[in-house]
Each structure stands twice: as structure tokens, then as C-alpha cells.
Amino acid sequence: MKLKHLKWIFLFFSWVVTCCTDPFDPGITDYEKVLVVEGLITDQPGPYRVTLSRTTPINSEEAIAEEGALVRISDDHGNEAVLQETSPGVYETQKTDIQGVSGRAYTLHIHTYNGQTFESEQVVLQTVPEIDSIYTTYQEKYSFDYNKILPGIQINVDTEAWDPQEDYYLKWDYEETWKIEPLWRSVEMEYKPCWKKEYNNAVLLENTSEYTSNQLVGYPLTQYSNESYKFFDGYSILVTQYALNHSAYQFWKMVDESSKDNGSIFDNVPFNPQSNIFNSGDDATRVFGYFDAAGVDQKRVYFETPLHGLNFKSYYSHFDCDLYMMRPSLYYNSGKVHKSWVLWENPLIDTLAYTFDKECIDCSMFTTTTKKPSFWAYD
């Protein structure tokens, strides 16, 4: 049975002995190109998406899309929708084709271009308890990087209470978006704030039958110390709460167990999560992935500093963004012109301010977008 914290035991040995981690490449070249399926129908309006691909070598960048398949979703009321391939390997329902309804059972059918047929287990859509609130609490946490206990926050979710007779396989995903404003305005370019986006890394799963309460309160989604730079200029989190079927819950649980492998012989022998999609012909053809029908609830919240009186760090604490001043005449005749960025020039006091790194005036150097997300309600 897995020892959850074995990593720390090895840290003990890294103290008493020199424990080392070295790159390892087993040089595996041949592998099975297994069909990878991910499909989800929810009780929210469509379109619903099914992606088909093949496993790729661990080090490869490319993806192998499974093109030209016939993909259908049927329910136990005789409804059926054929999905359209909107981009290679991505199959989507039309808005009007099918709508997920609580209590109905859905099946995914796949007929690949090379003639293999696959079918999923019937999955029943169950309405999820709503998200009651998402909030932060003050939380001190030991930081390995700083070797001390740091003040910080924990982001929690509370669910609404549900019918005590019901049990759920809950899963949470979150998408974090935070704003970064350039440290300096520059005369050399337009001042544009940026937004950065990240998805949860951890698999967040709960089986509510493990708990005595018919409501989850203070369920920890993630934690940050005040060294975090996500909260300096505004932060938003979109939390999606799913009510999964048992098979999809098992799939994610197994993904979690295998991905938490931290290199101990006390770790579970790794394995491939069991799929609820099977080859209609033979059992030996393996499929990776799942198809699920899930009740979904989503909630977005914004957190603005100060949070619990904490001073979060700016992203710019990573950069050397010192501001220098000089006489413009000197500056323009120096070699700095091509290596730095002018922030402002004031002829009245005959002074020019500059900084060296472009990142200090342009956050798009390290983020994805300068376009304000549609949901962003603040400046």
C-alpha cells in the first residue's frame, strides 16, 4: 500500500547520506499506439466535445490526432447525435443535437477510420450540488524554498448541502487568471496590462460517502504563501465542480495515484487507469481515457489585495527593473541607447529615466495575452 509521504523519508536520507536524482532514459522506442479518448457531456448547454488521439512518445512534442472517425453519443431515450470533426481529432456536437439531462444514461460510440469500433459504458448524468462559495482563509505554511513558515492563504470551496440520501463523486478543476501590470510606463511603447492563465495540476477528487456531512465546507483547493506573485494586480479563479460517474472517478483516481509517483519502492506499481471505453471486438485492444456524463456547476470569484493583510509579491521581484536617470544628451550619446528602454523624459529638469529589461515595461514578454478577458470585471 502506498506510503503517501515517502518523499520525505528520502529527504531524511538526503540529509544522512547523499541522495541523488539523476536523469534516466530507458531508451524505449517501440510502443503501442493506443487510442486516447476524452469525452464529456454535461447538463450545461453544448456543444460537447470528444477528442480522439493516439499515444505519442514521451519526449515528442507532436500530437497524433485520430482523424476521420465516426463519433456518436446516444442516450437511453433513443436520442442520438453524430459529432462533427471541427479540427483534427476534435469532434463536437451541434448546439441543437443533444442536451445533457439529469438522470439519463449516455453512451459514446466510436468507429475509427481504420475500422475499429469502440463503445463506452453507459454513464448516467447526475446533477451536481452547487458551489456555495469560494473564499480564502489565512494559512501559515512551511515553505521549502524559504526554509521558514510563511503566512499565506488557502483557497477553499464550500458546496451547498445536498440530499443526505445522495452520494457524489465530486471533482474540481480550476482555472486561475491573474493580471500583471508592467512595472514602468515607457514612452517607447503603449502601456498594456497582461493576463496569465493556469490550470490546476493536482487531481481534486472526493467521494462524499467517505464523509458524515452532506455538505463539504472548507475544502482546500490550493494554497499560496505571501511569496506568490499571483495576487499583486488582481486574481480570478473559475472553479468547476463535477458530479462524476464511478468509472470516471476511478479513472481520475488512478491518474492521480500514478502521477503522484515520487520514486519510492513503496509507491504503487504504476499502471494505466482503467478506461470505461472498450473495443467492441476484442478485449486485448487497449483504450486510454474515459467518457463521462457529469452534472456541472461553475463559479468565478475575484480576489484583490490586501488579502488577510498580506503583502504579496509582484511578479517584478524576479526581474532587475531598477530605474536609472541621466541627462538625455548623455544618454543618447551612450551605448545604453540600444540596451535599455526610456521610461520618460522631462525637458524641464533635463532628465531621462530608463531601465534595462524590456520585461519591465512589457509584460507580454512572459505572459500569454494582453487582451482583457471577457470575464474580467475590474480594470
Partner 1 sequence: MKHNSPLKNISLLLPFITLFPVFCSFTWLADDEPMSDNVEIIEKIESSFEVKVFYRKAWLEHERLNDFDPAMKLTSALEEVFDGTLLYYFIYQEDTVILTKGDPLDASLVSSTIFNEPATGKSDTLDREAALENIREQANQIHQIGIPGKAGKTAVLSGKITGLYSNQQLPGTSVFIEGENNGTIADGDGTYRIALTTGYHEIRFTHVGMKPAVRKIQLYSDGDLDVQLQQEATSLKQVFITAEAAKKEREHIGFEKLESEKITELPSFMGEADIIKHSLLLPGIQSTGEGDMRFNVRGGKNDQNLVLLDGMHSYSNSHFFGFFPGISAGLVKDAEFYKAGMPLQYGGRISSVYNITLDPGNTSELSLHGGVSPVSLNLAVKGPLINEKLSFSAGARKTYSNWVMDLFSVRELTHSSMGFHDYQMKLSWRDNDKLSISGFFYQSYDDFVLHQDSSYTFTNQLASLNVNYHLSNQTAFHATLGYTRYNTSRTQRPSRFLAARFEQAIEDYKFSASLTHQIHPNHEILGGINVLRNTIDPWSREKDSEQSIVKPVAPNSDKALQGAIYLGDHLQLTPRFKLKAGIRYNMYALLGRETLYEFRDDRIHMDYLEDTHTYDENELAYFNGGPEYRISGSYQLVNHQYLNFGYDHNRQYIHLLTNTQAASPVDSWQLSNENIPPQVGDHLSIGYKNDIRRGRYIASLDLYYKSIRNIKDFIDGSQFELNPHPETEIVNARSQSYGLEMILKKKKGRLTGWIAYTLSKAKIKAQSQVAEKNINNGAYYPASFDKPHNLSMVINYEPTRRLMISNVIRFSSGIPMTLPVAKASLPGSQREVLFYSRRNEYRIPHYFRYDISLTYRGTLKKDPLWQSEWAFSLYNVTGRRNPYSIFYKKSHSGFRGYQLSIFGEPIPTITYQFKF
Q: Characterize the bridge pairing of strands 141-143 and 194-199.
A: unpaired
Beta bridge partners of 154: 137, 223
Is residue 108 within the footprint of partner 1 (CB under 8 A)?
no
Give the number of residues in contact with partner 1, rule: CB under 8 A: 88
- From the list 45-53, 95-103, 118-126, 368-376, the region that binds partner 1 by CB under 8 A is 45-53
Is residue 34 within the footprint of partner 1 (CB under 8 A)?
yes
The residue (of 144 and 335) whose beta carbon lies closer to partner 1 is: 144
Is residue 202 within the footprint of partner 1 (CB under 8 A)?
no
Q: Say whether 134 sits in a helix, a strand or coil.
A: strand
Cell output for 321: 527593473
Q: Say whether 41 sits in a helix, a strand or coil.
A: strand
Range 246-305, binding partner 1 (CB under 8 A): 250, 253-255, 257-259, 261-274, 283-284, 288-289
Q: What angle do CA 38, 41, 42 make, to 5 degrees?
A: 130
User: What DSSP designation does 372 have?
Assistant: P
The span from the CA of 215 to the CA of 212, in Å, is 9
- From the list 33-41, 128-136, 293-301, 322-330, the region that binds partner 1 by CB under 8 A is 33-41
Q: What angle do CA 267, 268, 272 make, to 5 degrees?
A: 135
Is residue 59 within the footprint of partner 1 (CB under 8 A)?
yes
Is residue 21 within the footprint of partner 1 (CB under 8 A)?
yes
Beta bridge partners of 360: none
Q: What angle do CA 237, 255, 289 make, to 5 degrees?
A: 95
Is residue 46 within the footprint of partner 1 (CB under 8 A)?
no
The residue (of 226 and 264) whose beta carbon lies closer to partner 1 is: 264
Q: Do you know the residue count of the chain?
A: 379
x/- site string to partner 1, residues 86 to 105, per CB under 8 A?
----x---------------
Minimum distance from residue 339 beta carbon to partner 1 (Å): 28
23, 78, 309, 347: which one binds partner 1 (CB under 8 A):
23
Range 129-188, binding partner 1 (CB under 8 A): 142, 144, 147-149, 154, 173
DSSP secondary structure letters along 113-131: TTS-EEEEPPEE--PPPPE
Whether 207 contacts 249, CB under 8 Å = yes
Cell output for 19: 541522495
- From the list 12-20, 97-105, 121-129, 367-375, the region that binds partner 1 by CB under 8 A is 12-20
Is residue 210 within the footprint of partner 1 (CB under 8 A)?
yes
Minimum distance from residue 240 beta carbon to partner 1 (Å): 10
Is residue 9 within the footprint of partner 1 (CB under 8 A)?
yes
